[in-house]
């Protein structure tokens, strides 16, 4: 059978195997590609587009229109970024087909939707300090009568700001990953890439306090505890990403911060703090674990702001 008459289902399955084996992508990336391509295949099936030769520009235009008008079960349209994730999966699928000599639509024919410039949400100095101190404020007010929970939550906040970790990187940490006698450790991050992150003195202090209170054998660094200070002994997992998100929302409210705060806000605050204090973009790229410098350039406007402040403060002061 000519390659361009191969079933799209078959080719997608081979592509996903390629991502898993040859490209060694993360489980999350593989899951996302599977989701986006499954949705595309289902749409193609409904229109009897079953072989790769039928997948032309006209079909792709129809799919883009469908994506743009698609509504979720909550009656919401897909954001442009989400639409682009679907298209990127298809483009990379077509790149793979060209690589293995299957005649198909040129991937460059699929253009991404224009999106608004990404906005970086970070905390200013005062808000950040209040957030980091919020677990101590809660403990003093007796809302949570549990020192181990206070120590854990304080350690989590300090670690996020100290390292700029992604929430998934934090929840995947084991106790053995961190040597508190050192001020750095290696994290396996997005794309299974290793990078070095650094611990502040205060982050080390609170992690040590938290671990001293632990009386369990759970290997994860951050775990659930019940209200009586006792670890849930049967649990062999760490806190979930969602648990960390709820934790940060809770302490943002305690700190009186009205804008939306997420674990990624602390990652942005980490990067912003470095840049505002003179770090160069390339160093911040490495500390964040970004593959491309273009990803880190979302912070460029922040450094521009800083330069403007310097200019206004120090330039031609005698004529002011």
CA gap 116, 254 in Å, rounded: 32
290 classed as catalytic: yes
Q: Output the six-digit token pair for 116.
A: 């608004």
Q: Which helix (H) or strand (E) holds 185?
A: strand 184-188
> How many residues make up the chain in this entry?
320
Query: Among 33, 210, 220, 299, which one carries the catalytic annotation?
Result: 299
Contacts 24+ apart (CB under 8 A), 133-136: 133/255, 134/251, 134/252, 134/254, 134/255, 135/251
DSSP letters spanning 149-164: HHHHHHHHHHHHHHH-
Query: Among 267, 306, 315, 320, which one carries the catalytic annotation?
Result: 267
Query: Among 107, 130, 264, 306, which one carries the catalytic annotation?
Result: 264
Q: Would you call 102 exposed, middle or buried from its count of C-beta atoms within 10 A (0-12, 13-18, 19+)?
A: middle
Query: Among 130, 188, 190, 214, which one carries the catalytic annotation?
Result: 190
Instruction: Output the CA torsion sign for 90, 92, 96, 98.
Output: positive
18 classed as catalytic: no
301: which residues sit within 8 A by CB, 6+ positions away? none
299 classed as catalytic: yes
Query: Among 91, 152, 154, 290, which one carries the catalytic annotation?
Result: 290
Q: Which helix (H) or strand (E) holds 197?
A: strand 194-198
Query: Among 86, 166, 204, 268, which one carries the catalytic annotation?
Result: 166
Neighbours of 77 (CB within 10 A): 13
Q: Output the six-digit token pair for 76.
A: 């919401």
Supply the residues annotated as catalytic.
166, 190, 264, 267, 290, 299
């Amino acid at each position: 059978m000519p390659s361009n008459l191969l079933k799209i289902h078959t080719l997608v399955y081979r592509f996903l195997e390629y991502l898993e084996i040859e490209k060694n992508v993360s489980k999350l990336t593989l899951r996302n590609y599977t989701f986006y391509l499954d949705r595309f295949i289902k749409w193609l099936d409904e229109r009897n587009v079953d072989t790769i030769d039928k997948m032309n520009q006209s079909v792709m235009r129809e799919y883009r229109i469908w994506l743009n008008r698609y509504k979720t079960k909550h009656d919401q349209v897909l954001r442009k970024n989400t639409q682009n994730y679907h298209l990127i999966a298809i483009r990379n699928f077509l790149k793979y087909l060209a690589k293995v000599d299957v005649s198909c639509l040129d991937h460059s024919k699929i253009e991404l939707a224009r999106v608004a410039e990404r906005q970086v949400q970070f905390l200013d100095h005062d808000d950040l300090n209040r957030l980091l101190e919020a677990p101590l404020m809660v403990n003093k007010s007796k809302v949570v009568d549990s020192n181990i929970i206070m120590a854990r939550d304080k350690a989590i906040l300090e670690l996020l700001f100290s390292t700029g970790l992604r929430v998934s990187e934090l929840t995947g940490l084991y106790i053995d990953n961190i040597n508190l006698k050192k001020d750095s450790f290696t994290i396996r991050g997005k794309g299974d890439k290793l990078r070095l992150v650094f611990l502040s003195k205060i982050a080390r202090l609170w992690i040590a306090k938290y671990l001293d209170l632990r009386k369990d054998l759970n290997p994860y660094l951050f775990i659930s505890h019940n209200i009586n200070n006792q670890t849930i002994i049967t649990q062999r997992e760490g806190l979930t990403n969602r648990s960390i998100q709820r934790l940060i929302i809770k302490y943002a409210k305690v700190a009186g911060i009205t804008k939306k705060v997420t674990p990624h806000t602390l990652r942005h605050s980490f990067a912003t703090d470095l840049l505002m204090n003179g770090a160069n973009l390339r160093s911040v790229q490495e500390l964040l674990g970004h593959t491309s410098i273009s990803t880190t350039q979302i912070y460029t406007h922040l450094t521009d702001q800083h330069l403007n402040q310097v200019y206004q403060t120090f330039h031609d002061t005698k004529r002011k």
